[in-house]
Amino acid sequence: MIPLSEPVLQGRELEYVGECLETGWVSSNGEFVVRFERTLAEYLHVRHAVACDCGTSALHVSLLLSGVGTDDEVLVPSLTFIAPVNSVRYVGAWPVFIGCDDYCCLDVAAMRDFLTKECLRVEGVTVNRRTGRRIAAVIPVHVFGTPADMDAVQELASDHGLAVVEDASEALGSTYKGRNCGSLAALACLSFNGNKIVTSGGGGAILTDDDALAERARYLTTQAKDPGIEYVHGAVGYNYRMNNILAALGLAQLETIGDRLAVKRANLTRYEAALGPAGASRLLGQPSWSDANRWFYAYLCDDVAAKDELLTACGAADIQARPLWYPNHLQRPYTDMQAYRVERAVWFYERLVNLPCSVTLTPGQIEQVVSVIERVRTA
Protein backbone atom coordinates (compact mmCIF):
# COMPACT_ATOMS: atom_id res chain seq x y z
CA MET A 1 0.00 0.00 0.00
CA ILE A 2 1.16 3.55 -0.75
CA PRO A 3 0.02 5.60 2.25
CA LEU A 4 -1.29 9.14 2.00
CA SER A 5 1.02 10.53 4.67
CA GLU A 6 2.96 8.45 7.15
CA PRO A 7 5.32 9.69 9.86
CA VAL A 8 9.08 9.30 9.60
CA LEU A 9 10.89 8.74 12.89
CA GLN A 10 14.54 8.64 11.95
CA GLY A 11 16.16 11.09 14.33
CA ARG A 12 16.63 10.88 18.09
CA GLU A 13 12.97 9.94 18.81
CA LEU A 14 13.77 6.58 20.41
CA GLU A 15 16.65 8.00 22.46
CA TYR A 16 14.56 10.90 23.83
CA VAL A 17 11.44 8.82 24.56
CA GLY A 18 13.70 6.19 26.17
CA GLU A 19 15.09 8.90 28.43
CA CYS A 20 11.54 9.70 29.63
CA LEU A 21 10.89 6.05 30.42
CA GLU A 22 14.23 5.57 32.16
CA THR A 23 13.90 8.67 34.30
CA GLY A 24 10.19 8.25 35.00
CA TRP A 25 9.36 11.72 33.62
CA VAL A 26 6.41 10.51 31.58
CA SER A 27 3.71 13.02 32.45
CA SER A 28 2.98 16.72 32.14
CA ASN A 29 6.19 17.94 33.79
CA GLY A 30 9.66 17.32 32.46
CA GLU A 31 12.53 18.90 30.61
CA PHE A 32 11.40 17.81 27.14
CA VAL A 33 8.26 19.93 27.34
CA VAL A 34 10.40 22.95 28.15
CA ARG A 35 13.00 22.12 25.49
CA PHE A 36 10.35 21.48 22.87
CA GLU A 37 8.70 24.82 23.60
CA ARG A 38 12.01 26.67 23.52
CA THR A 39 13.16 25.04 20.28
CA LEU A 40 9.82 25.69 18.60
CA ALA A 41 9.80 29.35 19.64
CA GLU A 42 13.37 29.76 18.35
CA TYR A 43 12.55 28.04 15.05
CA LEU A 44 9.59 30.35 14.43
CA HIS A 45 11.18 33.50 15.90
CA VAL A 46 8.39 34.03 18.41
CA ARG A 47 8.84 34.81 22.10
CA HIS A 48 6.64 32.01 23.44
CA ALA A 49 5.39 28.55 22.53
CA VAL A 50 2.95 26.87 24.90
CA ALA A 51 2.73 23.13 24.21
CA CYS A 52 -0.76 21.56 24.30
CA ASP A 53 -2.15 18.05 24.00
CA CYS A 54 -3.50 18.80 20.50
CA GLY A 55 -4.05 21.56 17.98
CA THR A 56 -7.77 21.70 18.65
CA SER A 57 -7.24 22.60 22.31
CA ALA A 58 -4.66 25.22 21.26
CA LEU A 59 -7.38 26.80 19.09
CA HIS A 60 -9.95 26.59 21.89
CA VAL A 61 -7.70 28.37 24.38
CA SER A 62 -6.58 30.94 21.77
CA LEU A 63 -10.20 31.94 21.20
CA LEU A 64 -10.71 32.30 24.97
CA LEU A 65 -7.57 34.44 25.15
CA SER A 66 -8.91 36.56 22.29
CA GLY A 67 -12.00 37.38 24.32
CA VAL A 68 -14.40 35.45 22.10
CA GLY A 69 -17.43 34.29 24.03
CA THR A 70 -21.07 33.29 24.05
CA ASP A 71 -23.07 34.48 21.05
CA ASP A 72 -20.15 36.18 19.36
CA GLU A 73 -19.45 35.24 15.76
CA VAL A 74 -16.14 34.15 14.21
CA LEU A 75 -15.24 34.17 10.51
CA VAL A 76 -13.88 30.77 9.48
CA PRO A 77 -13.10 29.21 6.12
CA SER A 78 -15.60 26.63 4.92
CA LEU A 79 -12.75 24.70 3.34
CA THR A 80 -10.60 23.37 6.16
CA PHE A 81 -10.32 20.42 8.49
CA ILE A 82 -13.24 20.94 10.90
CA ALA A 83 -11.20 21.58 14.10
CA PRO A 84 -11.09 25.41 13.94
CA VAL A 85 -14.85 25.48 13.30
CA ASN A 86 -15.58 23.26 16.29
CA SER A 87 -13.35 25.39 18.50
CA VAL A 88 -15.67 28.34 17.82
CA ARG A 89 -18.58 26.38 19.26
CA TYR A 90 -16.52 25.30 22.31
CA VAL A 91 -16.51 28.96 23.47
CA GLY A 92 -20.23 29.36 22.77
CA ALA A 93 -19.69 31.46 19.64
CA TRP A 94 -21.03 30.85 16.11
CA PRO A 95 -19.08 30.32 12.90
CA VAL A 96 -19.76 32.43 9.81
CA PHE A 97 -18.36 30.54 6.84
CA ILE A 98 -16.30 32.35 4.20
CA GLY A 99 -15.28 30.83 0.86
CA CYS A 100 -11.80 30.24 -0.45
CA ASP A 101 -9.38 31.81 -2.94
CA ASP A 102 -7.65 30.08 -5.88
CA TYR A 103 -5.26 28.37 -3.45
CA CYS A 104 -7.95 26.95 -1.12
CA CYS A 105 -7.25 29.55 1.59
CA LEU A 106 -9.63 32.12 3.11
CA ASP A 107 -11.03 34.38 0.37
CA VAL A 108 -9.98 37.83 1.55
CA ALA A 109 -12.15 39.62 -1.02
CA ALA A 110 -15.20 37.73 0.31
CA MET A 111 -14.18 38.54 3.89
CA ARG A 112 -13.93 42.24 2.95
CA ASP A 113 -17.34 42.22 1.24
CA PHE A 114 -18.92 40.40 4.14
CA LEU A 115 -17.59 42.92 6.67
CA THR A 116 -18.48 45.98 4.58
CA LYS A 117 -21.78 44.88 3.02
CA GLU A 118 -23.26 42.50 5.58
CA CYS A 119 -22.12 44.16 8.80
CA LEU A 120 -22.60 47.46 10.64
CA ARG A 121 -20.33 49.36 12.98
CA VAL A 122 -22.20 49.97 16.24
CA GLU A 123 -20.30 51.92 18.91
CA GLY A 124 -16.98 50.62 17.64
CA VAL A 125 -18.19 47.03 17.34
CA THR A 126 -18.73 45.15 14.07
CA VAL A 127 -22.21 43.63 14.10
CA ASN A 128 -23.69 41.15 11.65
CA ARG A 129 -26.82 42.80 10.14
CA ARG A 130 -28.59 39.47 9.80
CA THR A 131 -28.07 38.12 13.33
CA GLY A 132 -27.31 41.25 15.36
CA ARG A 133 -24.29 39.45 16.83
CA ARG A 134 -20.76 40.85 17.28
CA ILE A 135 -18.12 39.62 14.84
CA ALA A 136 -15.33 39.02 17.31
CA ALA A 137 -12.57 37.21 15.42
CA VAL A 138 -11.34 35.51 12.27
CA ILE A 139 -9.40 32.24 11.96
CA PRO A 140 -7.36 32.14 8.74
CA VAL A 141 -6.07 28.63 7.98
CA HIS A 142 -2.98 27.90 5.86
CA VAL A 143 -4.57 25.07 3.90
CA PHE A 144 -2.17 22.24 2.90
CA GLY A 145 0.66 24.47 4.18
CA THR A 146 -0.02 27.32 1.73
CA PRO A 147 -0.13 30.64 3.57
CA ALA A 148 -3.35 32.64 3.53
CA ASP A 149 -2.93 36.31 2.60
CA MET A 150 -2.20 37.36 6.17
CA ASP A 151 -1.39 41.05 5.59
CA ALA A 152 -4.81 41.53 3.99
CA VAL A 153 -6.51 39.52 6.77
CA GLN A 154 -4.72 41.58 9.46
CA GLU A 155 -5.63 44.88 7.81
CA LEU A 156 -9.32 43.96 7.57
CA ALA A 157 -9.32 42.60 11.11
CA SER A 158 -7.75 45.75 12.47
CA ASP A 159 -10.17 48.02 10.53
CA HIS A 160 -13.15 46.09 11.92
CA GLY A 161 -11.93 45.36 15.46
CA LEU A 162 -11.54 41.58 15.01
CA ALA A 163 -9.03 39.38 16.81
CA VAL A 164 -6.96 37.09 14.55
CA VAL A 165 -6.15 33.50 15.53
CA GLU A 166 -3.78 32.08 12.91
CA ASP A 167 -4.32 28.37 12.34
CA ALA A 168 -0.87 27.30 11.16
CA SER A 169 -1.50 23.62 11.96
CA GLU A 170 -0.57 22.49 8.46
CA ALA A 171 2.06 25.14 7.78
CA LEU A 172 5.07 24.56 10.02
CA GLY A 173 8.06 25.40 7.80
CA SER A 174 6.06 27.62 5.41
CA THR A 175 6.75 31.32 5.03
CA TYR A 176 4.56 34.24 4.00
CA LYS A 177 6.50 37.12 2.39
CA GLY A 178 9.57 35.75 4.17
CA ARG A 179 7.90 35.55 7.60
CA ASN A 180 7.18 32.28 9.36
CA CYS A 181 3.66 30.89 9.39
CA GLY A 182 2.87 30.57 13.08
CA SER A 183 4.24 34.03 13.81
CA LEU A 184 1.81 36.15 11.83
CA ALA A 185 -0.85 37.01 14.42
CA ALA A 186 -1.11 37.86 18.11
CA LEU A 187 -1.99 34.19 18.64
CA ALA A 188 -1.17 31.28 16.34
CA CYS A 189 -1.75 27.54 16.67
CA LEU A 190 0.00 24.39 15.49
CA SER A 191 -0.91 20.71 15.41
CA PHE A 192 1.57 17.84 15.72
CA ASN A 193 -0.74 14.95 14.93
CA GLY A 194 0.48 11.93 13.03
CA ASN A 195 0.31 13.31 9.51
CA LYS A 196 1.98 16.66 10.21
CA ILE A 197 5.51 17.60 9.13
CA VAL A 198 6.51 17.49 12.79
CA THR A 199 4.55 14.94 14.79
CA SER A 200 4.60 14.26 18.49
CA GLY A 201 2.06 11.47 18.03
CA GLY A 202 -0.56 13.99 19.09
CA GLY A 203 -0.02 17.53 20.22
CA GLY A 204 -0.33 21.21 19.52
CA ALA A 205 1.02 24.60 20.49
CA ILE A 206 -0.03 28.18 21.04
CA LEU A 207 2.48 30.74 19.75
CA THR A 208 2.65 34.38 20.77
CA ASP A 209 5.02 37.29 21.28
CA ASP A 210 2.89 38.60 24.12
CA ASP A 211 4.19 37.73 27.61
CA ALA A 212 0.81 38.13 29.33
CA LEU A 213 -1.02 35.99 26.75
CA ALA A 214 1.62 33.27 27.05
CA GLU A 215 1.33 33.25 30.82
CA ARG A 216 -2.47 33.06 30.64
CA ALA A 217 -2.25 30.28 28.01
CA ARG A 218 0.03 28.26 30.29
CA TYR A 219 -2.34 28.82 33.21
CA LEU A 220 -5.52 27.84 31.36
CA THR A 221 -3.95 24.74 29.80
CA THR A 222 -2.83 23.46 33.24
CA GLN A 223 -6.22 23.53 35.02
CA ALA A 224 -5.74 27.19 36.03
CA LYS A 225 -3.96 26.07 39.18
CA ASP A 226 -2.46 28.91 41.21
CA PRO A 227 1.20 28.62 42.25
CA GLY A 228 2.02 26.79 45.48
CA ILE A 229 1.23 23.36 46.87
CA GLU A 230 -2.44 24.07 47.65
CA TYR A 231 -5.03 23.12 45.03
CA VAL A 232 -6.42 26.56 44.43
CA HIS A 233 -7.78 27.34 40.96
CA GLY A 234 -8.45 30.89 39.84
CA ALA A 235 -10.49 30.10 36.72
CA VAL A 236 -12.17 27.28 34.84
CA GLY A 237 -9.07 25.63 33.44
CA TYR A 238 -8.36 22.74 31.10
CA ASN A 239 -6.16 19.67 31.18
CA TYR A 240 -4.55 20.54 27.85
CA ARG A 241 -0.82 20.37 28.67
CA MET A 242 1.43 18.29 26.42
CA ASN A 243 3.16 15.47 28.30
CA ASN A 244 6.90 14.85 28.41
CA ILE A 245 6.87 11.71 26.22
CA LEU A 246 5.06 13.51 23.42
CA ALA A 247 7.36 16.50 23.77
CA ALA A 248 10.41 14.19 23.55
CA LEU A 249 9.06 12.82 20.27
CA GLY A 250 8.23 16.31 19.03
CA LEU A 251 11.66 17.69 19.88
CA ALA A 252 13.44 14.93 17.96
CA GLN A 253 11.13 15.61 15.00
CA LEU A 254 11.75 19.33 15.13
CA GLU A 255 15.51 18.77 15.04
CA THR A 256 15.16 17.13 11.61
CA ILE A 257 12.37 19.20 10.05
CA GLY A 258 14.74 20.64 7.44
CA ASP A 259 15.35 17.16 5.96
CA ARG A 260 11.64 16.46 5.63
CA LEU A 261 10.88 19.87 4.11
CA ALA A 262 13.53 19.20 1.45
CA VAL A 263 12.02 15.80 0.62
CA LYS A 264 8.46 17.19 0.46
CA ARG A 265 9.58 19.77 -2.08
CA ALA A 266 11.72 17.31 -4.06
CA ASN A 267 8.85 14.79 -4.25
CA LEU A 268 6.52 17.46 -5.58
CA THR A 269 9.06 18.23 -8.30
CA ARG A 270 9.16 14.50 -9.12
CA TYR A 271 5.36 14.42 -9.42
CA GLU A 272 5.49 17.48 -11.70
CA ALA A 273 8.12 15.90 -13.94
CA ALA A 274 6.31 12.55 -14.10
CA LEU A 275 2.93 14.16 -14.83
CA GLY A 276 4.33 16.20 -17.73
CA PRO A 277 3.38 19.84 -18.37
CA ALA A 278 -0.37 19.18 -18.81
CA GLY A 279 -0.63 17.07 -15.66
CA ALA A 280 1.71 19.24 -13.57
CA SER A 281 -0.48 22.28 -14.22
CA ARG A 282 -3.27 20.41 -12.43
CA LEU A 283 -1.38 20.39 -9.14
CA LEU A 284 -2.68 23.23 -7.00
CA GLY A 285 -0.41 26.27 -7.45
CA GLN A 286 1.07 28.75 -5.04
CA PRO A 287 0.40 32.47 -4.55
CA SER A 288 3.25 34.98 -5.06
CA TRP A 289 3.61 35.56 -1.30
CA SER A 290 4.17 31.91 -0.48
CA ASP A 291 7.17 29.71 0.14
CA ALA A 292 5.20 26.74 1.41
CA ASN A 293 6.23 23.51 3.13
CA ARG A 294 4.29 21.60 0.41
CA TRP A 295 2.78 19.45 3.14
CA PHE A 296 -0.05 18.03 1.00
CA TYR A 297 -0.20 17.69 -2.79
CA ALA A 298 -3.61 18.48 -4.30
CA TYR A 299 -4.50 17.36 -7.82
CA LEU A 300 -7.36 19.02 -9.70
CA CYS A 301 -9.71 16.79 -11.73
CA ASP A 302 -12.10 17.97 -14.44
CA ASP A 303 -15.30 17.31 -12.54
CA VAL A 304 -16.93 15.18 -9.84
CA ALA A 305 -17.08 12.09 -12.06
CA ALA A 306 -13.35 12.33 -12.88
CA LYS A 307 -12.50 12.80 -9.20
CA ASP A 308 -14.58 9.80 -8.14
CA GLU A 309 -13.02 7.73 -10.89
CA LEU A 310 -9.50 8.66 -9.79
CA LEU A 311 -10.27 7.86 -6.13
CA THR A 312 -11.72 4.48 -7.12
CA ALA A 313 -8.76 3.66 -9.36
CA CYS A 314 -6.30 4.60 -6.60
CA GLY A 315 -8.22 2.45 -4.11
CA ALA A 316 -8.06 -0.52 -6.49
CA ALA A 317 -4.31 0.00 -6.90
CA ASP A 318 -3.77 0.14 -3.12
CA ILE A 319 -2.92 3.83 -3.26
CA GLN A 320 -4.24 5.95 -0.43
CA ALA A 321 -5.53 9.06 -2.22
CA ARG A 322 -8.20 11.10 -0.44
CA PRO A 323 -10.93 13.63 -1.27
CA LEU A 324 -10.87 17.10 0.17
CA TRP A 325 -12.71 17.82 3.44
CA TYR A 326 -16.43 18.10 2.95
CA PRO A 327 -17.14 21.88 3.09
CA ASN A 328 -17.95 22.83 6.67
CA HIS A 329 -21.06 24.87 5.87
CA LEU A 330 -22.55 21.57 4.62
CA GLN A 331 -21.56 19.53 7.68
CA ARG A 332 -24.56 18.42 9.75
CA PRO A 333 -23.86 20.52 12.89
CA TYR A 334 -23.39 23.62 10.74
CA THR A 335 -26.04 23.61 8.03
CA ASP A 336 -28.03 26.34 9.80
CA MET A 337 -25.07 28.73 10.03
CA GLN A 338 -24.43 31.64 7.71
CA ALA A 339 -22.19 30.95 4.71
CA TYR A 340 -20.85 33.73 2.49
CA ARG A 341 -19.56 33.25 -1.06
CA VAL A 342 -18.64 29.60 -0.50
CA GLU A 343 -19.19 28.40 -4.08
CA ARG A 344 -15.48 27.93 -4.80
CA ALA A 345 -15.08 25.78 -1.68
CA VAL A 346 -17.71 23.42 -3.09
CA TRP A 347 -16.07 23.59 -6.53
CA PHE A 348 -12.71 22.52 -5.09
CA TYR A 349 -14.32 19.84 -2.96
CA GLU A 350 -15.88 18.37 -6.09
CA ARG A 351 -12.58 18.24 -7.99
CA LEU A 352 -9.52 17.99 -5.73
CA VAL A 353 -7.76 14.79 -4.76
CA ASN A 354 -4.92 14.63 -2.24
CA LEU A 355 -2.13 12.42 -3.57
CA PRO A 356 0.28 10.38 -1.43
CA CYS A 357 2.80 12.82 0.02
CA SER A 358 4.79 10.90 2.65
CA VAL A 359 8.43 11.72 3.05
CA THR A 360 9.02 7.97 2.58
CA LEU A 361 7.64 8.01 -1.00
CA THR A 362 10.03 6.44 -3.49
CA PRO A 363 10.43 7.60 -7.11
CA GLY A 364 8.91 4.25 -8.13
CA GLN A 365 5.81 4.87 -6.01
CA ILE A 366 5.39 8.33 -7.52
CA GLU A 367 5.54 6.71 -10.99
CA GLN A 368 2.86 4.24 -9.85
CA VAL A 369 0.52 7.03 -8.69
CA VAL A 370 1.11 8.99 -11.89
CA SER A 371 0.41 5.94 -14.05
CA VAL A 372 -3.00 5.55 -12.36
CA ILE A 373 -3.73 9.25 -12.93
CA GLU A 374 -2.76 8.91 -16.60
CA ARG A 375 -4.82 5.78 -17.08
CA VAL A 376 -7.92 7.54 -15.70
CA ARG A 377 -7.20 10.69 -17.73
CA THR A 378 -6.98 8.89 -21.03
CA ALA A 379 -9.78 6.37 -20.39
Ligand X SMILES: Cc1ncc(COP(=O)(O)O)c(C=O)c1O
Q: Which is nearer to ligand X, 11 or 204 (CB)?
A: 204
Told to check if 328 binds ligand X by CB under 6 A, we report: no
Please report how close the Cβ of residue 270 comes to ligand X at its closest, in angstroms. 24
CA gap 90, 173 in Å, rounded = 29
7: left (phi over 0), alpha (psi -120 to 50) or beta: beta
Is 146 a binding residue for ligand X by CB under 6 A? The answer is no
Instruction: Give dist(CA 185, CA 358) in Å, integer.
Output: 29
Among 84, 95, 140, 327, binds ligand X (CB under 6 A): 84
User: From edge to edge, which strands make up the β-sheet containing 179-180?
Assistant: 179-180, 175-176, 290-291
Q: Which stretch binds ligand X (CB under 6 A): 77-85, 282-290, 291-299, 339-347?
A: 77-85
Q: How far is the CB of 290 from ligand X (least distance, A)?
A: 16
Query: Are 328 and 82 in contact, with CB atoms under 8 Å apart?
Result: yes
Indicate the pairing of strand 187-191 with strand 125-128: unpaired
Give the residue, chosen from 128, 180, 183, 191, that forms a contact with ligand X under the rule CB under 6 A: 191
Query: Which of 62, 86, 146, 193 is in the footprint of ligand X by CB under 6 A?
Result: 193
The span from the first CA to the last CA of the chain, in angstroms, equals: 23
* 141 lies in the site for ligand X, by CB under 6 A: yes
169 touching ligand X, by CB under 6 A: yes
Question: Closest distance between ligand X and the C-beta of residue 166, in Å?
Answer: 11
Residue 13 as a binder of ligand X (CB under 6 A): the answer is: no
* Binding of ligand X by 301 (CB under 6 A): no
| CB 240, min distance to ligand X, A | 10
Does the footprint of ligand X cover residue 327 (CB under 6 A)?
no
> Which CB sits closer to ligand X, 80 or 368?
80
Q: Which C-beta is closer to ligand X: that of 186 or that of 242?
A: 242
Rule CB under 6 A: say whether 253 interacts with ligand X: no
Minimum distance between the CB of residue 313 and ligand X, rounded to whole angstroms?
Answer: 26
Burial of 79 (0-12, 13-18, 19+ CB in 10 A): buried
Q: Which of 77, 204, 327, 356 binds ligand X (CB under 6 A)?
A: 204
Task: CB nearer to ligand X: give 154 or 191.
Answer: 191
Interaction between residue 80 and ligand X (CB under 6 A): yes
The yes or no reply on residue 56 touching ligand X (CB under 6 A) is: yes
Q: Tell me which of 7, 11, 30, 55 binds ligand X, using CB under 6 A.
A: 55
Minimum CB distance to ligand X, residue 58 (Å) = 8
| Phi and psi, residue 190, nearest 5° | -130, 155
Which of 26-34, 91-99, 162-170, 250-258 is the region at the interface with ligand X (rule: CB under 6 A)?
Answer: 162-170
> Smallest gap, in angstroms, from Cβ of residue 194 to ligand X?
9
Question: Of 148 and 248, which has the nearer Cβ to ligand X?
Answer: 148
Instruction: Specify the residue, 246 or 275, whose C-beta has the smaller distance to ligand X.
Output: 246
Asked if 171 and 181 count as a contact pair (C-beta separation under 8 A), the reply is yes
Compute the distance between CA of residue 124 and CA of residue 334 in angstroms, rounded to an integer: 29
Give the shortest CB-343-to-ligand X separation in angstroms. 21
Least Å distance, CB 142 to ligand X, is 8
Of 48, 51, 72, whose CA–CA distance to 61 is shortest?
Answer: 51
CB 309 within 8 A of CB 356: no
Which residues here bind ligand X, judged by CB under 6 A? 54-56, 80-81, 83-84, 141, 167, 169-170, 191, 193, 204
